[in-house]
């Protein structure tokens, strides 16, 4: 088999690079997991970034960014095997943001883990900024996929997961979808395919914040019973409180043990979480806070 070479790469990653990597990530999961309390602070910090970024930009999607903050925090600060100094490291775990409108949240996590300077966050949506309105993989270090047209990230993630199998690499693929996004038929084409190909290195996390632009998902397009849908498509399905970091981490751990099928984590969340007047307020799906609102929000997030 011509894959001999690749097997070597997996088994013996260049020793010096591995060492450097371990040192560089010492503040992160692999070397020393953060406590749940410390992670909570990180999530709060990401929320502050989201408010500041969208307020400065004057547009953007705070609601769905705020609802996913714990999910992203758990992944980036405690779970993913990644190296911010080498965003294209072939053996990195992949995180694919399918709900591309949560770009402010992803940028905040990427900046806080060292992919680019935190100051750059405030250039969100400005002409020629690397902080594009929706994620653009050709522009931003650490962004795996260009997204914003919904329903496409799961298919893309299957491709990455299958490549790992072909190359005998042991990285894992995590993809975050919105629950409104699950209206898209392509999500279910992909759900069927992932299970058919038995890609067990793939985890789909659905941010079940129950809201989409036009209102409650129950009113606009009811996706219930959502967990049963994923189960019936052959996925190992776990439901968690998407704001409880311990639950998210436990589910991610559980997914690692699942063989022969992909895992779906339905994370029950609140849209706009963390800011009283944004919570469950569909207005803030796609509207930035005014300077006054931002000030109030940041006070709540102190």
Contacts of 117 (CB under 8 A, 6+ apart): 111
132 backbone dihedrals φ, ψ, rounded to 5°: -70, 155
Size of the site for other proteins (CB under 8 A): 35
CA 132 to each of CA 53, 59, 170: distance values in angstroms, whole numbers, following the listed order: 12, 12, 31
Candidate residues 87, 114, 141, 148; the one interacting with other proteins per rule CB under 8 A: 148
Q: How far is the CB of 84 from other proteins (least distance, A)?
A: 19
Q: What is the rounded distance in angstroms from the CA atom of residue 241 to the CA atom of residue 80?
A: 20
Among 113, 152, 201, 211, binds other proteins (CB under 8 A): 152
Binding mask 94-133 for other proteins (x = CB under 8 A): ----------------------------------------
Q: Candidates 134-142, 243-251, 261-269, 274-282 — which segment interacts with other proteins by CB under 8 A? A: 134-142
String of contacts with other proteins for each residue 175-214, x by CB under 8 A: ----------xx--xx-xx--xx-----------------
Of the two residues 156 and 284, which places its CB atom closer to other proteins in the complex? 156
CB-wise, 90 or 282, nearer to other proteins?
Answer: 90
State which of residues 70, 91, 112, 144 lies at the interface with other proteins (CB under 8 A).
Answer: 144
Asked whether 152 and 98 are in contact (CB, 8 A), the reply is yes
Task: Please tell me whether residue 155 binds other proteins under the rule CB under 8 A.
Answer: yes
Site for other proteins in 29-68 (CB under 8 A): none
Beta bridge pairs of residue 266: 206, 239
Shortest Å, Cβ 2 to other proteins: 4
Query: For residues 39 and 158, which CB has a smaller minimum distance to other proteins in the complex?
Result: 158
Measured distance CA(21)–CA(191) in Å, rounded: 34
With binding defined as CB under 8 A, does residue 9 bind other proteins? no
294 lines the binding site for other proteins (CB under 8 A): no
CB nearer to other proteins: give 30 or 137.
Answer: 137
3 near other proteins (CB under 8 A): yes
Q: Distance between CA atoms of 44 and 293, rounded to whole angstroms? A: 17
**Any contact of residue 8 with other proteins (CB under 8 A)?**
no
Close Cβ partners of 81 (under 8 Å, ≥ 6 residues apart): 30, 91, 92, 93, 171, 172
Q: CB atoms < 10 A from the CB of 94, how many?
A: 22
Segment contacting other proteins by CB under 8 A, of 71-79, 163-171, 243-251, 260-268: 163-171
- Residue 135 or 211: which CB sits closer to other proteins? 135
Q: Is 171 exposed, middle or buried (0-12, 13-18, 19+ CB in 10 A)?
A: buried
Phi, psi of 131 (to 5 degrees): -95, 75
CA R_g for the chain: 18
Chain residues in the site for other proteins (CB under 8 A): 2-3, 90, 136-138, 144-149, 152-164, 166-167, 185-186, 189-190, 192-193, 196-197
């Amino acid at each position: 088999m011509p894959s001999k070479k690749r097997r070597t790469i997996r088994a013996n990653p260049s020793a010096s690079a591995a060492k450097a990597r371990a040192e560089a990530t010492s503040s992160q999961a692999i070397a020393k997991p953060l406590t749940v309390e410390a992670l909570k602070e990180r999530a709060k910090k990401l929320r502050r970034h989201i408010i500041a970024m969208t307020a400065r930009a004057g547009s953007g999607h705070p609601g769905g960014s705020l609802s996913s903050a714990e999910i992203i925090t758990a992944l980036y600060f405690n779970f993913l095997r990644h190296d911010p100094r080498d965003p294209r490291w072939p053996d990195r775990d992949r995180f694919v943001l399918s709900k591309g409108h949560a770009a402010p949240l992803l940028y905040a996590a990427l900046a806080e883990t060292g992919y680019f300077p935190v100051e750059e966050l405030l250039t969100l949506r400005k002409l020629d900024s690397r902080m594009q309105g929706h994620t653009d993989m050709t522009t931003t270090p650490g962004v795996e996929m260009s997204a914003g047209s919904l329903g496409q990230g799961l298919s893309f993630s299957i491709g990455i997961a299958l490549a790992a199998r072909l190359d005998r690499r042991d990285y894992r693929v995590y993809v975050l979808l919105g629950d409104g996004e699950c209206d898209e038929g392509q999500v279910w084409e992909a759900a069927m395919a992932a299970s058919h190909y038995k890609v067990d290195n793939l985890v789909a996390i659905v941010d079940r914040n129950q809201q989409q632009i036009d209102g409650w998902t129950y009113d606009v397009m009811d996706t219930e019973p959502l967990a049963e849908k994923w189960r019936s498509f052959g996925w190992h399905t776990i439901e968690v409180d998407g704001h409880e970091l311990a639950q998210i981490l436990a589910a991610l751990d559980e997914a690692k043990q699942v063989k022969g099928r992909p895992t779906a984590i339905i994370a029950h969340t609140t849209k706009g979480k963390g800011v009283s007047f944004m919570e469950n307020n569909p207005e803030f799906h796609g509207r930035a806070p005014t300077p006054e609102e931002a000030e109030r929000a940041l006070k709540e997030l102190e």
